[in-house]
Structure 1
Amino acid sequence: MSPELDLAAARAQLPADMVDAWLGLLRPAARLTHAHPPQRIVGHLGGQPDLPADVTWPIWDGQGPLAYIAGLDCAALPRAMTGLDLPADGHLLFFCFDGQVGDALSIPTTGCGAQAMHIASDRPVSPRCAPDGITPYRRIPLAAHAVDSAPPDDHPVLHQTFGDSFSHGIDHPVRDLSFEPTGGVRATLHQVGGYAYPLHFPLEYGLDAGEPDDWVLLAQFDSDGRARMHWGDCGLIYWLIRRQDLAARRFDRAAFTLQCY
């Protein structure tokens, strides 16, 4: 949705004194879609990760190796598009346990079975084959599109911004501008930055969040048939990170979760 459409919708549906407050909550985000020439490739789903020789393949202790999910080229993702203080170069790599080995029921819903890492551009890397038992997901190149991301219904920032009028008002006008995650047919939602797209409740409620703005969405990856990725029943997987940890490049502190129908 463009800023112009956001403004038009807000002016049409909100009382005048709420318009600026609502627009102030929008966050920039990079929506990731399957790339087609001549689109610029900013990363990929699946395939083999490029890793330095001294980086071991991540594992979940007691379960087994993680599966490689995606890689993002930080230099190809402008900060203005994502709204995140990402590194200027290098690659972000995402791994999670997906049940291919070990206990297939132990898909992680916390950070213990998932890992995000940044590989600096000055480190020599080479393609790494997945460990035995892990079938790589199909490699799909990704392009990025700038979008305005709105907070989902019942997100903490809505309660914080609109106070009791939102918390106690089921028919609050802001709710009409929040997406409905469980209704209708949705597009595939791979995304960097902005607000996470929850299927049940805002992800911040499952974290030791402190202030609602402490956490930001590092990346979310949707179920994607072309890549042969299926997270539960048409679910999504998410990495969130505290702003201070992102600034310190402590991607090992990113939190992971999954939601599915």
Structure 2
Amino acid sequence: MNTELRDRLRPFRDEALARGIPADDVERWLGTARPCVTLTREDGPEPVVGRFGGPLELPADMSTPGAPFVASIDLAALPADGTGLPLPHGGRLLFFAWPESEYPESAGQVVYVPEGAPVTERDKHESWNPGNVDEYRAMFDSYPQGPLRARVDVSLPYHTHLTPPGQRRSVLLPGHPRAEELVSVWEDAQDDIATDGPMQLGGYADEEAVYVDPVEVAVSTVTQAVESGSWEGPVSADPADWVLLADWFAGDDVARYEGSTVHWVIQREDLAARRFDRAFVTVYWNP
């Protein structure tokens, strides 16, 4: 974490100390901070790096993904090293997702379109549309549309527990006995530190109710998907081998699925090799 982002966390540090949390515990927690890029739909000075919706353009030899189109990101326009992820420096990432999923299957896809690759525009309803089902058409038509601006932010954990390998019961994050208090401080101080936006690249995953890291839940889901035959292995069962690629909080935008959060996760080795088709997608939705 660079000095600028650490300085931005000063309100968090000051509030944690004011609540009587020992300085050593606060500093260890700050050591977990990660950079991220928040994508916002608000007007402002930040650069436009992509958009919700818009035309669906894919390489001619690529089949149309089987999930609704959410957003496209111009990787060359992203702030340098803003996400903390080893993303390509050019091309586009296209994100697809349902706001619900049939556990343990992936709820969406990620497509990488290299810079300069010939593309053709597709019918966005081509492969996912289950027929004349009005509720699904209304759901897709309610997906947000419009430009996305990027701001480099800093992210701290929203979760307080993890599940040790081979165990079923979760434990408090090792080395962080004040984790619950520190998460509470972050929830209260975050608005003074980071931008509020519907989509995030990198950083820590968030959703309506967090106990363990949503990435850990996604890893558990994908390992069961491999066992059931709905996802091709091999995959690591260790959450440390995975990262959050992106979060999308649907908010009040998506008809019938208000409040759902989509998580796109990927193994570190797949990200480094640009195997974005290996991204797995989970959804948290509390109807």
Post-superposition Cα deviations, 1:18-68, rounded to whole Å, max 9, x if no partner, equal 122111111111111015365421111112222111111112xxxxxx211
Match of 1:25 in 2: 32
CA distance in 2 between counterparts of 1:187 and 1:229 reads 18
Q: Provide the residue aligned with 1:215 in structure 2.
A: 242
Aligned positions, number: 236
Q: Residues 70 and 155 (structure 1 numbering): CA distance in 2 closer, same or farther, change over 3 Å?
A: farther
Q: Which residue of 1 aligns with 2:57?
A: 50
- Could you say what secondary structure the match of 1:6 adopts? helix
Residue 241 (structure 1) aligns with: 266
Aligned CA RMSD, in angstroms, stands at 2.9
The CA distance in 2 between the partners of 1:37 and 1:23, in whole Å, is 29
Offset at 1:123?
0.4
Question: What TM-score do the two structures reach when normalised by structure 2?
Answer: 0.71
3-state secondary structure, aligned to 2:209: coil
How many angstroms apart in 2 are the aligned matches of 1:230 and 1:38?
31
Q: Judging changes above 3 Å, is the alpha-carbon distance between structure 1 residues 5 and 249 closer, same or farther for their aligned structure 2 residues?
A: same
* Matching residue within 5, 10, 13 for 2:11: 5
* Superposed displacement of residue 258, structure 1: 0.7
1:198 aligned to which of 207, 231, 237: 207
Partner of 2:14, secondary structure, is helix
Deviations 1:152-178 (A, max 9, x none): 132439944426x35xxxx85434334
Structure 1 residues 249 and 35: alpha-carbon distance in aligned structure 2, compared to 1, 3 A threshold: same
Equivalence for 2:77: 76
Shift of 1:92: 0.6
Instruction: Provide the residue aligned with 1:91 in structure 2.
Output: 92
Q: In the alignment, residue 116 of structure 1 is paired with which amino acid?
A: V
1:176-219 deviation digits (Å, cap 9, x = unpaired): 33438xxxxx9553111100112233313322464443221111
Q: Please give the alpha-carbon distance, in whole angstroms, between the structure 1 residues aligned to 2:180 and 2:160.
A: 11
Q: Say which SS state the counterpart of residue 249 (structure 1) adopts.
A: coil
SS in 2 for 1:84: coil
Q: Percent of aligned pairs with the same residue? A: 32
| Separation of aligned partners in 2, 1:23 and 1:204 | 20
Q: In the aligned structure 2, how far is the partner of 1:50 from the partner of 1:230?
A: 25
The answer for the alignment partner of 1:183 in structure 2 is: none
Structure 2 counterpart of 1:102? none
1:218 partner letter: L
| Kept in 2: contact 1:223–1:231 (CA 8 A) | no
- Report the TM-score when normalising by structure 1: 0.78
Distance 1:93 1:216 in 2: 17
Q: Is the 8 A contact 1:47 1:139 kept in 2?
A: yes
Moved more, 250-259 or 133-142: 133-142
CA gap 1:39/1:127 in 2 versus in 1, 3 angstroms: farther
Contact 2:41 2:197 in 1 (8 A): no
Distance 1:16 1:50 in 2: 51
How far apart, CA to CA, are the structure 1 residues paired with 2:32 and 2:45? 33
Counterpart for residue 191 of structure 2: none
Counterpart for residue 175 of structure 2: 162
Q: Give the counterpart letter for 1:162 in structure 2.
A: G
Q: In structure 2, what is the Cα distance between the partners aligned to 1:189 and 1:56?
A: 28
Provide the rounded CA distance (Å) in 1 between the counterparts of 2:16 and 2:239: 23
Distance (Å, rounded) in 2 between the aligned partners of 1:147 and 1:161: 25
Answer yes or no: is 1:189 the counterpart of 2:198: yes
Match of 2:182 in 1: 174
Contact 2:17 2:26 (8 Å CA) reproduced: yes
